[in-house]
Amino acid sequence: MLTLNPKPRGDDDDGKQPPPQPVEKGFAALAHLAGLFWIPYLPMPILALVIPFLILQFARVHSPFVEQHAIQAVNFQLLMASLYLFAMLAGMALNSLFLIWWVAIGSTIFAMWEGAKAINGWQSKYPLTLKLFK
């Protein structure tokens, strides 16, 4: 389990999460929508990894809602990074961009779906992740 910025312990926690504020929904959606950077036409796919990680580190102490969404986004984007790397290597070997586009399209679909869940205030759960961050 990787934790760089731990949450402070609070004594007034009753176990229920308060409803998310609009700002929290926006940051949670941003963490997911960073997955759109895997599209090969956009020049910086590294932002798909950096943006959710930064949101996770800064939101960990402020909002359990944003933290839950950022953890899900980081774990999924790490999986997409490994699949993207595999697709690039296979694409060079096969001289084709077909696999890269499948990874980009899959990442985009799931990122938009989970971003919509964040905007609506729902909890996030990707169907397949690496679960390195908890």
Give 68-101 pLDDT, tens digit per residue.
999 999 999 899 889 988 998 998 999 888 888 8
Give 35-55 pLDDT, tens digit per residue.
888 877 766 788 888 999 999
3-state secondary structure of 20: coil
What contacts 24+ positions apart, CB below 8 Å, involve 90-93? none
| Closest by Cα among 53, 59, 76, 78 to 21 | 59
Unique residue bearing structure tokens 């953890």: 71
